[in-house]
Amino acid sequence: MKTIADAQIWATQLLTEAGVDRAARESEILLADCMRADRIYLMARPERVMDRESWEQFQGWLERRAQREPLAYITGKRWFYGLELTVAPGALIPRPETELLVECFLNWQSTKPFPLVHNGNLTEGVHQETPCLLDAGTGSGCIAIACLLNAPRWQGIGIDSSSDALKIARLNRERYGLSKRLELRRARWLETMEPHSIDALLSNPPYVRYEEWETLEPEVRDWEPLDALVADRQDPLRAYRELIEGAKHALKPEGLIAFEVGVSTAQEVAQIMATRGFTPQVEHDLQGLPRVLWSIAP
């Protein structure tokens, strides 16, 4: 058996040779998970000899990572907006830039007053309307879950065409006790939504153009679900068109529509929104790139 220090040195070299970025950091994450410890523990006890079970698991995980399987798929988890979420093949791995979509929603909803609604029975008085957000293409459920946990008066609907993705979203929904507040449906975009039934539409649709696919890192290109990342080959903006058209039907007046976009799609998506009566605003990510387009419904 190897000591913690020896295991880290060996693993870092192995992952470096495999072309993995930040090999030392990733070897620490994998080792800490295998030992059911944190990275501080590894630094404090470098001389500790690993037990057989942890060593064998570590070897197996490193072999998978050297094949460029994403770290999140190996450990089965990913942090998003301060939440540890279950991830697995079949759903897109949550990314830090998508947190900007959550921020956009939370900033908007914090300033929006919702009216008091009469129950129709004088003895019951009035209650505040319960607003509803729709996460179209919910994947792991990361967007909807982060929004609902930080906006407790809201309810949500997560829609995805993938049954595998919805299984993962259900795990995350149950983990955070949102079974009564987050409905999950298998559908394509907004086809099941009633007229004027939602107060906010959020979506991170596939926007990587087909010709860009081969330029992506192996972790993305070879492992993550193609349909969740790559736009329609013949019409790269098809998903946005369908969502915007659906929003005209399903979104309430003065509701929020917000999309994650790529650099190559931002301007064109903004034009589509403008032609459908929206006034798109842009939010930039930490690299200064256009990342979220949003508008208030007329």
More confidently predicted of 255 and 118: 255
pLDDT for 119 beyond 70: no
Q: What pLDDT, on the 0 to 100 scale, is given for residue 210?
A: 87
Q: What pLDDT, on the 0 to 100 scale, is given for residue 201?
A: 98
- Judge contact between 231 and 207, C-beta under 8 A: yes
Structure tokens at 32: 């800490």
**For a pLDDT cut of 90, what percent of the chain falls above it?**
83
Residue type for position 89: P
9-18, 120-129, 146-155, 256-265: lowest mean pLDDT where? 120-129
Residue with tokens 């000899």: 49
| C-alpha 24: how far from chain center | 26
**Separation between Cα atoms, residue 275 and residue 271, nearest integer Å:** 6
- R_g of the chain computed on alpha carbons: 22
Q: What is the pLDDT of residues 182-239, one digit of tens each?
A: 999 999 999 989 999 999 999 999 999 988 888 999 999 999 999 999 999 999 999 9
pLDDT for 178 beyond 80: yes
Pairing status of strand 251-260 against strand 198-203: parallel
- Smallest CA-to-CA distance from 168 within 227, 86, 275 is with 86
Q: What are phi and psi of 30, to 5 degrees?
A: -65, -40
Q: What pLDDT, on the 0 to 100 scale, is given for residue 112?
A: 80
**Separation between Cα atoms, residue 6 and residue 170, nearest integer Å:** 40
Residue type for position 17: E
Q: What is the pLDDT of residues 227-282, one digit of tens each?
A: 999 999 999 999 999 999 999 999 999 999 999 999 989 999 999 999 999 999 99
pLDDT for 127 beyond 70: no
Residues 6 or more apart whose CB falls under 8 angstroms from that of 111 comprise none
pLDDT for 125 beyond 70: no
Residue 236: CB atoms within 10 A of its CB come to 21
Specify the 3-state DSSP secondary structure of 254: strand
Domain locations in the chain?
A: 4-67, 81-296
CATH code: domain 81-296 is 3.40.50.150
- Judge contact between 104 and 295, C-beta under 8 A: no
What is the number of alpha carbons within 13 Å of residue 136 lying toward its C-beta? 26
Specify the 3-state DSSP secondary structure of 133: strand
